[in-house]
A and B are shown apart, each in its own frame.
Chain A
């Protein structure tokens, strides 16, 4: 199947700093990528939809100024957690549906963010 590469897999940062997470589709193009957040022992919740060449769409309750999303090309989307705080500690995972494929999306490996 198609491969989505997400990194870093783990990151620890200090409170107040920013962290960038990258999501790349390695062997296909994706005009859309989805960013999810997963708290321990909970389900995946959609945070935002990243659109190549246009602004991201954020879900209700997600601060767009805190979670900056950039979809620079058809194979790369980035999520930047700005001025991180301990409550931002979570597991972030991206997924990308290949262009023209109307069935499934492929997931990155996820990023465990710990803010100390």
Chain B
């Protein structure tokens, strides 16, 4: 079974600075998808960024980028120029590929609570 580990329960960053959230995972599959979700106090799950395992290039979305190390099974999230609105819980998630029409659920890490200091 696949597992996702986030070893940082809480992180803090100064506004405008850069912060990196860690995530490691365990799987025997060669193809899969990785995600970072943001959950603000409203508890709505918001997709931040996704990475297909077959792609070597790290995904980027504006101020958000990932460092995907497939061999090490590591998938960290870097937030640049941190803003107050970035404060939230961040969940790393794993998803198996879609075979035979079945669509896999997400396996989540325990989350990292990010605080942004003004």
Binding site for B on A (CB under 8 A): 1, 31-32, 34, 38, 42-46, 49, 91, 93, 95, 97, 102-105, 107, 109-110, 112
Contact indicator A95/B106 (Cβ below 8 Å): yes
Contacts of B106 in A (CB 8 A): 34, 44, 46, 95, 105
Q: How far is the CB of B45 from chain A (nearest CB, A)?
A: 4
**Cα–Cα distance between A38 and B102 once the two chains are bound (Å):** 24
Total count of chain B residues near the partner, CB < 8 A:
21
- Which of A44, A46, A95, A103 lies in contact with B91, CB distance below 8 A? A44
Number of A-B contacts (CB under 8 A): 52
**Cα–Cα distance between A1 and B48 once the two chains are bound (Å):** 13
Contact indicator A46/B105 (Cβ below 8 Å): yes
Contact indicator B43/A32 (Cβ below 8 Å): no
Where chain B touches its partner, the secondary structure class is loop
Contacts of A44 in B (CB 8 A): 45, 91, 106, 108
Closest 9 CB pairs of A and B: A107-B45, A102-B98, A97-B103, A43-B108, A34-B105, A43-B110, A44-B108, A32-B103, A110-B43
Contacts of B107 in A (CB 8 A): 46
Contact indicator A93/B105 (Cβ below 8 Å): no
Known: A43-B110, A46-B107, A103-B50. 20 other contacts (CB 8 A): A1-B47, A31-B103, A32-B102, A34-B105, A38-B43, A44-B45, A44-B91, A44-B106, A45-B108, A46-B106, A49-B105, A93-B45, A102-B98, A103-B33, A103-B52, A104-B47, A105-B105, A109-B42, A110-B44, A110-B45
